[in-house]
Chains A and B, each alone.
Chain A
Amino acid sequence: GAGVSQSPSNKVTEKGKDVELRCDPISGHTALYWYRQRLGQGLEFLIYFQGNSAPDKSGLPSDRFSAERTGESVSTLTIQRTQQEDSAVYLCASSLTSGGAGEQFFGPGTRLTVL
Protein backbone atom coordinates (compact mmCIF):
# COMPACT_ATOMS: atom_id res chain seq x y z
CA GLY A 1 0.00 0.00 0.00
CA ALA A 2 0.98 3.63 -0.31
CA GLY A 3 3.24 5.04 2.33
CA VAL A 4 3.63 8.60 3.56
CA SER A 5 4.33 10.96 0.69
CA GLN A 6 5.78 14.45 0.78
CA SER A 7 6.11 17.19 -1.78
CA PRO A 8 8.17 18.74 -3.09
CA SER A 9 11.16 16.46 -2.63
CA ASN A 10 13.49 19.43 -2.98
CA LYS A 11 12.88 23.14 -2.53
CA VAL A 12 15.37 25.93 -3.07
CA THR A 13 14.25 29.38 -2.02
CA GLU A 14 15.66 32.80 -1.34
CA LYS A 15 15.98 34.21 2.13
CA GLY A 16 12.84 36.04 3.13
CA LYS A 17 10.45 34.07 0.94
CA ASP A 18 7.65 31.88 2.28
CA VAL A 19 7.54 28.13 1.59
CA GLU A 20 4.86 25.51 1.95
CA LEU A 21 5.59 21.83 2.39
CA ARG A 22 3.00 19.12 1.97
CA CYS A 23 2.49 15.75 3.62
CA ASP A 24 0.03 12.99 2.68
CA PRO A 25 -0.16 10.48 5.53
CA ILE A 26 -1.09 6.83 5.26
CA SER A 27 -4.85 6.50 4.92
CA GLY A 28 -6.49 5.80 8.26
CA HIS A 29 -3.60 7.09 10.36
CA THR A 30 -5.00 9.50 12.91
CA ALA A 31 -1.69 10.88 14.16
CA LEU A 32 0.65 13.05 12.07
CA TYR A 33 4.02 14.48 13.03
CA TRP A 34 6.46 16.95 11.50
CA TYR A 35 10.17 16.76 12.27
CA ARG A 36 13.21 18.70 11.10
CA GLN A 37 16.58 17.08 10.41
CA ARG A 38 19.55 19.36 10.11
CA LEU A 39 22.66 18.10 8.35
CA GLY A 40 24.42 15.44 10.41
CA GLN A 41 21.91 15.54 13.23
CA GLY A 42 18.96 13.59 14.53
CA LEU A 43 15.36 14.61 14.11
CA GLU A 44 13.81 17.49 16.02
CA PHE A 45 10.10 17.32 16.76
CA LEU A 46 8.13 20.28 15.39
CA ILE A 47 4.38 19.66 15.65
CA TYR A 48 1.86 16.86 16.17
CA PHE A 49 -1.75 16.41 15.06
CA GLN A 50 -4.19 13.86 16.47
CA GLY A 51 -7.65 13.72 14.95
CA ASN A 52 -9.64 16.85 15.71
CA SER A 53 -7.71 17.68 18.88
CA ALA A 54 -5.72 20.87 19.18
CA PRO A 55 -2.24 20.29 17.73
CA ASP A 56 0.84 20.05 19.94
CA LYS A 57 2.98 22.94 18.68
CA SER A 58 5.58 22.73 21.41
CA GLY A 59 8.44 21.98 19.01
CA LEU A 60 7.96 24.86 16.59
CA PRO A 61 11.15 26.95 16.75
CA SER A 62 9.57 30.33 16.05
CA ASP A 63 6.32 32.01 15.06
CA ARG A 64 7.49 31.92 11.44
CA PHE A 65 6.57 28.22 11.47
CA SER A 66 2.97 27.03 11.29
CA ALA A 67 1.14 23.92 10.19
CA GLU A 68 -2.36 22.86 9.34
CA ARG A 69 -4.09 19.56 8.86
CA THR A 70 -7.41 18.93 7.16
CA GLY A 71 -9.26 16.33 9.20
CA GLU A 72 -7.19 13.17 9.16
CA SER A 73 -5.60 13.74 5.78
CA VAL A 74 -3.18 16.17 4.20
CA SER A 75 -1.00 18.48 6.27
CA THR A 76 0.96 21.53 5.20
CA LEU A 77 3.92 23.06 7.01
CA THR A 78 4.48 26.73 6.24
CA ILE A 79 7.66 28.66 6.93
CA GLN A 80 7.36 32.41 6.55
CA ARG A 81 10.25 34.77 5.84
CA THR A 82 12.70 31.88 5.52
CA GLN A 83 16.17 32.18 6.98
CA GLN A 84 19.33 30.28 6.06
CA GLU A 85 19.12 28.44 9.38
CA ASP A 86 15.85 26.89 8.18
CA SER A 87 17.78 24.82 5.64
CA ALA A 88 17.15 21.19 6.56
CA VAL A 89 15.21 18.09 5.60
CA TYR A 90 11.63 18.28 6.83
CA LEU A 91 10.14 14.89 7.57
CA CYS A 92 6.54 13.93 8.07
CA ALA A 93 5.39 10.79 9.86
CA SER A 94 2.03 9.22 10.57
CA SER A 95 0.85 6.52 12.93
CA LEU A 96 -2.32 4.61 13.66
CA THR A 97 -2.44 5.80 17.22
CA SER A 98 -0.83 8.44 19.31
CA GLY A 99 1.39 7.58 22.21
CA GLY A 100 4.92 6.36 22.50
CA ALA A 101 4.64 2.72 21.52
CA GLY A 102 3.01 3.20 18.16
CA GLU A 103 5.24 2.87 15.13
CA GLN A 104 5.62 6.05 13.14
CA PHE A 105 5.90 5.69 9.38
CA PHE A 106 8.07 8.32 7.77
CA GLY A 107 7.92 10.00 4.41
CA PRO A 108 11.02 10.59 2.26
CA GLY A 109 11.26 14.21 3.37
CA THR A 110 11.52 17.59 1.72
CA ARG A 111 15.02 19.02 1.45
CA LEU A 112 14.78 22.77 1.92
CA THR A 113 17.68 25.00 0.94
CA VAL A 114 17.50 28.69 1.77
CA LEU A 115 20.01 30.77 -0.17
Chain B
Amino acid sequence: AQSVTQLDSHVSVSEGTPVLLRCNYSSSYSPSLFWYVQHPNKGLQLLLKYTSAATLVKGINGFEAEFKKSETSFHLTKPSAHMSDAAEYFCVVSEPGRRALTFGSGTRLQVQP
Protein backbone atom coordinates (compact mmCIF):
# COMPACT_ATOMS: atom_id res chain seq x y z
CA ALA B 1 0.00 0.00 0.00
CA GLN B 2 1.11 3.53 -0.67
CA SER B 3 1.03 6.38 1.82
CA VAL B 4 2.44 9.86 2.28
CA THR B 5 3.42 11.73 5.43
CA GLN B 6 3.94 15.45 5.41
CA LEU B 7 5.92 16.17 8.52
CA ASP B 8 4.80 19.74 9.11
CA SER B 9 1.24 20.99 9.01
CA HIS B 10 2.40 24.63 9.06
CA VAL B 11 5.64 26.29 7.98
CA SER B 12 6.33 29.99 8.35
CA VAL B 13 9.27 31.71 6.66
CA SER B 14 10.32 35.28 5.97
CA GLU B 15 10.28 36.59 2.45
CA GLY B 16 13.64 35.97 0.77
CA THR B 17 14.61 33.03 3.01
CA PRO B 18 14.73 29.37 1.95
CA VAL B 19 11.70 27.10 2.01
CA LEU B 20 11.76 23.43 3.03
CA LEU B 21 8.59 21.36 3.06
CA ARG B 22 9.16 17.78 4.15
CA CYS B 23 7.55 14.66 2.75
CA ASN B 24 8.11 10.96 3.37
CA TYR B 25 6.41 8.24 1.41
CA SER B 26 5.76 4.54 1.67
CA SER B 27 5.36 2.39 -1.41
CA SER B 28 5.73 -1.26 -2.34
CA TYR B 29 6.81 -0.33 -5.86
CA SER B 30 8.74 2.37 -7.66
CA PRO B 31 6.34 5.24 -7.19
CA SER B 32 5.67 8.43 -9.04
CA LEU B 33 5.79 11.41 -6.72
CA PHE B 34 4.25 14.83 -7.12
CA TRP B 35 3.93 18.14 -5.35
CA TYR B 36 0.73 20.09 -5.87
CA VAL B 37 -0.01 23.62 -4.66
CA GLN B 38 -3.42 24.97 -3.71
CA HIS B 39 -3.87 28.71 -3.46
CA PRO B 40 -6.92 30.03 -1.60
CA ASN B 41 -10.07 29.67 -3.68
CA LYS B 42 -8.13 28.20 -6.57
CA GLY B 43 -7.74 24.72 -7.96
CA LEU B 44 -4.81 22.43 -7.32
CA GLN B 45 -1.84 23.04 -9.57
CA LEU B 46 1.00 20.66 -10.30
CA LEU B 47 4.37 22.05 -9.15
CA LEU B 48 6.58 19.16 -10.19
CA LYS B 49 6.70 15.40 -10.57
CA TYR B 50 9.21 12.57 -10.27
CA THR B 51 8.78 9.52 -12.47
CA SER B 52 12.05 7.57 -12.12
CA ALA B 53 14.21 9.84 -14.25
CA ALA B 54 16.56 12.38 -12.62
CA THR B 55 16.32 12.37 -8.85
CA LEU B 56 16.46 16.16 -8.64
CA VAL B 57 13.30 17.52 -10.16
CA LYS B 58 12.78 21.16 -11.06
CA GLY B 59 9.30 22.60 -11.11
CA ILE B 60 7.54 25.85 -11.68
CA ASN B 61 8.11 29.08 -9.74
CA GLY B 62 11.63 28.11 -8.68
CA PHE B 63 10.64 25.05 -6.66
CA GLU B 64 12.54 21.79 -6.79
CA ALA B 65 12.46 18.44 -5.01
CA GLU B 66 14.91 15.63 -4.56
CA PHE B 67 13.91 11.98 -4.56
CA LYS B 68 15.94 10.05 -1.99
CA LYS B 69 15.08 6.37 -2.12
CA SER B 70 17.28 5.46 0.85
CA GLU B 71 15.40 7.94 3.01
CA THR B 72 12.01 7.47 1.29
CA SER B 73 11.79 11.24 1.11
CA PHE B 74 10.74 13.79 -1.47
CA HIS B 75 11.25 17.17 0.20
CA LEU B 76 10.27 20.37 -1.59
CA THR B 77 12.64 23.33 -1.53
CA LYS B 78 12.97 26.84 -2.86
CA PRO B 79 16.01 29.06 -2.31
CA SER B 80 14.11 32.29 -1.70
CA ALA B 81 10.47 32.58 -0.66
CA HIS B 82 8.13 35.08 -2.25
CA MET B 83 4.91 36.40 -0.78
CA SER B 84 2.99 34.75 -3.61
CA ASP B 85 4.24 31.33 -2.45
CA ALA B 86 1.87 31.41 0.52
CA ALA B 87 -0.47 28.47 -0.08
CA GLU B 88 -1.20 24.87 0.87
CA TYR B 89 1.22 22.30 -0.52
CA PHE B 90 0.45 18.61 -0.98
CA CYS B 91 2.89 15.77 -1.47
CA VAL B 92 1.34 13.02 -3.56
CA VAL B 93 2.30 9.44 -4.43
CA SER B 94 1.10 7.11 -7.13
CA GLU B 95 2.09 3.49 -7.76
CA PRO B 96 2.21 1.79 -11.14
CA GLY B 97 -1.19 0.38 -11.98
CA ARG B 98 -3.01 2.44 -9.39
CA ARG B 99 -5.25 5.04 -10.90
CA ALA B 100 -5.86 7.36 -8.00
CA LEU B 101 -3.36 9.60 -6.31
CA THR B 102 -2.69 9.35 -2.58
CA PHE B 103 -2.39 12.77 -0.99
CA GLY B 104 -0.59 13.83 2.15
CA SER B 105 -2.47 15.94 4.66
CA GLY B 106 -0.87 19.14 3.40
CA THR B 107 1.52 21.81 4.64
CA ARG B 108 0.35 25.39 4.92
CA LEU B 109 3.17 27.77 3.99
CA GLN B 110 3.07 31.27 5.41
CA VAL B 111 5.47 33.90 4.10
CA GLN B 112 6.09 36.86 6.38
CA PRO B 113 7.15 40.23 4.94
* Chain A contact residues, CB within 8 Å of chain B: 3-4, 31, 33, 35, 40-45, 48, 50, 56, 59, 91, 93, 98-101, 103-109
Whether the pair A42, B106 counts as a contact (CB closer than 8 A) is: yes
Interface residue tally of chain B, by bracket?
A: 20 to 34
Stretch of B14-22, B62-70, B88-96 with 4 or more beta carbons under 8 angstroms from chain A: B88-96
Residues of A within 8 A of B94 (CB): 100-101
A42 CA / B93 CA spacing, docked (Å): 12
Q: Tell me the dominant secondary structure on chain B's binding face.
A: loop
Residues of A within 8 A of B32 (CB): 100-101
Beta-carbon contacts of B7-50 to A below 8 Å, as 1s and 0s?
00000000000000000000000011010100001111110010
Whether the pair A100, B90 counts as a contact (CB closer than 8 A) is: no
A50 CA / B11 CA spacing, docked (Å): 37
What number of residue pairs across chains A and B have CB atoms under 8 A from each other? 66
Q: Return B11 CB to nearest CB of chain A, in Å.
A: 15
A33 CA / B101 CA spacing, docked (Å): 10
Whether the pair A42, B51 counts as a contact (CB closer than 8 A) is: no
Q: Return A63 CB to nearest CB of chain B, in Å.
A: 20
Q: Contacts A106-B44, A108-B43 hold; do A42 and B100 have CB atoms under 8 A apart?
A: no
Residues of B within 8 A of A33 (CB): 99-101
Whether the pair A106, B101 counts as a contact (CB closer than 8 A) is: no
Whether the pair A4, B99 counts as a contact (CB closer than 8 A) is: no
Q: Does B97 contact A (CB under 8 A)?
A: yes
Q: Return B27 CB to nearest CB of chain A, in Å.
A: 10
Whether the pair B105, A41 counts as a contact (CB closer than 8 A) is: yes
Residues of B within 8 A of A107 (CB): 43
Set A93, A99, A105, A108: member contacting B96, Cβ < 8 A: A99
